[in-house]
Structure 1
Amino acid sequence: MTSSRLPKVRASELVGRGWLNTGGKDVTLADLRGKVVLLDFWTFCCINCLHVLDELRELEEQYRDVLVVVGVHSPKFVHEADPVALAAAVERYEVHHPVLDDPDLTTWSAYSARAWPTLVVVDPEGYIVAHMAGEGHKHNVEVLVRELVAEHEAKGTLHRGDGPYVPPAVESRTLRFPAKAIRLPNGNLLVADAGHHSLAELADDGETLVRRIGSGERGLVDGGPTDARFSEPNGLCLVPDELRERVGYDVVVADTVNHALRGVRLDDGTVTTLAGTGQQYMVGASDNVLPDPAEGLLTDGPAHALEAGTAFGSALTVTLGAPLETPPLPVALRHRLSSPWDIVWSEDLAAFVVAMAGNHTIWAFDPEQGSIGRIAGTMNEGLLDGPGDDAWFAQTSGLAVGPDGRIWLADSEVSALRWLEPAGGTVTARTAVGAGLFDFGHRDGPAAQALLQHPLGVAVLPDGSVAIADTYNGAVRRWAPADDAVAGEAGGGGAADGGRSGEVTTLARDLAEPSGLLVDVHDDGAIDLLVVESAAHRITRLRLPARLSGEILDAGAHRTQRPVSEIGAGEVRLDVVFTPATGQKYDDRFGPSTRLQVSSTPPELLLDGAGDDVPLERALRINPAVAEGVLHVTAQAASCDADPSIEFPACHLNQQDWGVPVRVVDGGPQVLTLPLHG
């Protein structure tokens, strides 16, 4: 038994609107008695939740006769509460376990979840034994499952056999949840066919399949068009003409779930890996850049990531010693990435700019040097403008470059349109539309008041305005600068300064999760906007008027609706409880092992206690004049292997962001406790 087990508490019943992946049957805890049950509280907008889905695939397969994973879908955005949208997401992300639809957050509240994702482990007798927030818990979950299996097999309370999962029928389609599209030099379209784990080349009509690049099986394999494998590719970018011969490929692909960039040679469809190891960049990990295999002996995994036809998703273990007879491996191929979602070429930076959605940052990839690195973002999730080293982003999922070199961003989790201003090799972040992590809606008008809902795509129109794939509103929106705005002043400052100018209108509605945009300008001046309608599995062509305009709509504003925590006015103690993973301990070899950042919306909610400090507890002073708001808390704790016999212990930085809605009431609780598990 592990020392981190929770006191025995009976698990609450699983209550919601209905079930998916069960063949139409409801599932109760009684039905699951005798199994280890892992409840995964998720929402399909959340990149961290998608990481957890991928982490769980191997565990589900390995322990399929004793472990039942149940996804509890607790929506953040209004669109995610739509049962049709949820069913599409379950299919899109290949969720192979039962999913409870919990739109009213009933089960979320019963299990005291406060963050996406949250994992809760229930033992075969129906008791809660672990509660973990955030991602990166695969090892700890596996250890716990093994312990529970051994314990309950000995007690006779473990029942082996199939669980309640019933796979749904899958319809055959040319495209399956396509993500982005680009125009090829031959006039055809190349589509990131994410649901088929491949690229589809279509004729100009956007329907006729010319060829497919990729076998269609999920994986990370280089080689020819029938052998290569992708895993949910998203962004695509043509290599500039003058570079293609030198680098040897024509298209760069953001291969999202493989945490990699891939290169495609169009003449024969050959795929090579350009950046990434196939493993996720974990915030704070000490080994996110692997040693060069030319300087040591690779004892586990392939010798060279570019070897055609080789899958290389496994870890590379390096023992220094006799050099391998291989050329030096470019640093980009030794660097772990985190869910690259889109990619564009920047002339100003002479590099491909990558939206690294998985850790809320922006990166640059130099194809000739074979190097890659972060150019903006702190890895904190939020909306904060300023120099790249200080700016905050939130799951950036769409990129486009304007004729002035400005790099436009669809910053999905803050429902924002933002841009980067490159200058002198550095970048500065600015916001055109967006309010923050918890504010969204469909509202047109002045940019300072306009609202979007989880946009995934962006494109620059011929007049310099910007089209936005407003994904969860099922719309295409347009931001246009104010008549008196000048270049460099079209947006404004940070999230709270209200200095934005311009106007937002709606160009099209009733689309099925538009996720990518492509602009075609004809010789007569007519403009076609090609929309990747991801949930409709198609490319839709919209004819725009030569004089661009749009309608003004106001479908209302929304805030993320979650159970509100009541707190008292005056002093409140914030206590983040950290439990290192099994076999690990605090890592304080190089200084403090913890960090706590606290802020609030509105800022006036906190009279004292905001800011950044080391201890995982903080005395907050709550303003009695503010009735409600959100406490934003980011906690970090470093841990490493506790066994003193391990010469080079594995270390991990555990991090979780919370946005806790609070209501200030007389006599309310004076303690707010948040769990951070290793």
Structure 2
Amino acid sequence: MSVRAPELDRGEWIAGGPHLLRELRPRAVLLDFFTFGCINCMNNLPMLIRLQARYGDTLQVIGVHSGKFAHEKDAEAIRAAVARLGISYPVLNDPEGALVDQYAVKAWPTMVLVNAEGYIAATFRGEAQGVAIDLALRKLGLLPRECAAESPALPGPLRFPEAVLVRCEQTFIANSGGGDVREYNAAGQLVRRFTPFRTPAALALSEGMLYIADRAGGSVCRIDLRTEERTVLFEQLRSPSALLVEEKTITIAEAGAHTVTVYDKETLQPLQTFGNRFEALRDGAGEAAQLAQPMGLTRCDDGTLWFVDAESSALRSIENGHVQTAVGEGLFIWGDSDSDPILLQHPQGIACGRIGDGCGGGRLFIADTYNGKLKVYDPQSGRMMTLMADLNEPAGLCKQGCSLYIAESGAHRVIRYDLSAMSFETYIA
């Protein structure tokens, strides 16, 4: 029995609208129910953009954004995300979930194919559905067309930077929206660019080697800064979003796999994995634990490894092979509170203060991304404090002495926060 697709008459058009299904005939319509903070949704976007380009006027892809977090329901935040993610097709904001209910969507991402007569032809859930969707489109009689090659991105101002790394007179920035990693000198002048990357998301520096995690590319590479020789260390990762390179190990947080894995630095063999690949908030040893989109890593002087889980809005630690939650209540509990209980909203960055470096030794600095705040947490007392508000999606952090560098992704800049003076300035934009 065929089911007529509910009309797109709810919510607010963010880009490219308004559209009604009946007005799009005889085109087929592919509805992508997504939210911009969902890593699996992000992974689907290149496939959807390719489908729109391949099938041209015979197919219309439409994004239906149904936010989970409060920040994801804000129209301006969605507009910024559409630009950051390179979405070229129309997007409809469904903040109350009216269309989600009408289409019986139960998970992100879900794609619904509507045929030229306005009836639901197929439903696809999760990632890696490109082949199945392509077959369904051909079954409807749609034929792909040849597509022109994309023009390479040109250098310009920063665009949605996600990570910053400062060492002595060198500054490295993962310019995610521009698909490159940039090196600046002490005067803030651009020295060189490393390309191409799809979405460079994390950086690490060790023994003259720059390590780069390409989230959308699913890889981690190493660049010799002297010779610029590039070596791919890991491939086919699921959205690597955080890196920690130490004397003998490389630790990678795979946001799409909901895991943190420690590798031997020489052999690149896995030594231990934390998380069983199911998205949830559960403490435990090794793979008995459950994580939820880890997107930041740091190690404190006492040896404890700390990370933030974006989807569970949690601050967690790994010590003696055991994952433990310091802040966080679950996948659907979040907020903005520094006490009773402490609540975060989709944090993405973390840095630990070093004992004796002048400011904040032993404290954890947190980019509370969807609350737009910089916060500091004391593991000894369990106290949280807000240092800075009104930021536009702060992401990666780097601490050097009394300077805290923040990749303010939504503002397309890196700022330097002076912990001694409690003031900030634009560092690189």
Pairing 1:451–2:343 present: yes
CA gap 1:374/1:357 in 2 versus in 1, 3 angstroms: farther
Give the CA deviation at 1:17. 3.7
Which of 151, 162, 181 matches 2:164?
181
Alignment of 1:78-97 (within 5 A): 78-97=70-89
Secondary structure of 1:510's counterpart equals coil
Secondary structure of 1:413's counterpart equals coil
CA gap 1:16/1:267 in 2 versus in 1, 3 angstroms: farther
Secondary structure of 1:179's counterpart equals strand
Which of 387, 404, 408 matches 2:302?
404
Give the CA deviation at 1:18. 2.7
Give the CA deviation at 1:119. 1.0
Give the CA deviation at 1:131. 2.0
Corresponding residue for 2:4? 10
Corresponding residue for 1:518? 398
Alignment of 1:222-261 (within 5 A): 229-239=196-206, 241=207, 250-261=209-220
Q: Report the count of equivalent residues.
A: 409
TM-score (norm 1): 0.58
Q: 1:346·1:401 contact (CA, 8 Å) conserved in 2? A: no
Give the CA deviation at 1:254. 0.8
Q: Deviations over 1:547-601 (max 9, x none)?
A: x9xxxxxxxxxxxxxxxxxxxxxxxxxxxxxxxxxxxxxxxxxxxxxxxxxxxxx
Q: Which runs of 5+ in 2 are unaligned?
A: 146-152, 355-360, 423-429
Pairing 1:202–2:194 present: no
Q: Which runs of 5+ in 1 are unaligned?
A: 1-6, 154-159, 162-169, 215-228, 245-249, 277-335, 484-501, 522-526, 549-678
Whole-angstrom distance in 1 between the partners of 2:12 and 2:41: 20
Alignment of 1:408-557 (within 5 A): 408-421=306-319, 423=320, 427-445=321-339, 449-462=341-354, 463-483=361-381, 502-521=382-401, 527-545=402-420
Corresponding residue for 1:304? none
Which amino acid is the alignment partner of residue 90 of structure 1? V
Give the CA deviation at 1:212. 1.3
Pairing 1:337–2:212 present: no
Q: 1:343·1:355 contact (CA, 8 Å) conserved in 2? A: yes
Give the CA deviation at 1:443. 0.2
Corresponding residue for 2:107? 115
4+ residue segments displaced more than 4 Å: 170-173
Give the CA deviation at 1:35. 1.1
Alignment of 1:567-582 (within 5 A): none
Pairing 1:77–2:58 present: no
Which amino acid is the alignment partner of residue 358 of structure 1? G
Q: Deviations over 1:70-92 (max 9, x none)?
A: 10000000001111110111111
Corresponding residue for 1:132? 124
Q: 1:361·1:374 contact (CA, 8 Å) conserved in 2? A: no
Alignment of 1:295-310 (within 5 A): none
Which amino acid is the alignment partner of residue 176 of structure 1? R
CA gap 1:64/1:270 in 2 versus in 1, 3 angstroms: farther
Whole-angstrom distance in 1 between the partners of 2:24 and 2:228: 47
Q: 1:466·1:479 contact (CA, 8 Å) conserved in 2? A: yes
Whole-angstrom distance in 2 between the partners of 1:364 and 1:481: 23
Corresponding residue for 1:100? 92
Whole-angstrom distance in 2 between the partners of 1:429 and 1:8: 48
Whole-angstrom distance in 2 between the partners of 1:399 and 1:469: 12
TM-score (norm 2): 0.90
Whole-angstrom distance in 2 between the partners of 1:266 and 1:99: 41
Whole-angstrom distance in 2 between the partners of 1:482 and 1:211: 42
Percent of residue pairs bearing the same amino acid type: 38
Name the larger-Rg structure.
1
Secondary structure of 2:395's counterpart equals strand
Give the CA deviation at 1:365. 3.0
CA gap 1:56/1:204 in 2 versus in 1, 3 angstroms: same
Which amino acid is the alignment partner of residue 538 of structure 1? R
CA gap 1:198/1:436 in 2 versus in 1, 3 angstroms: same
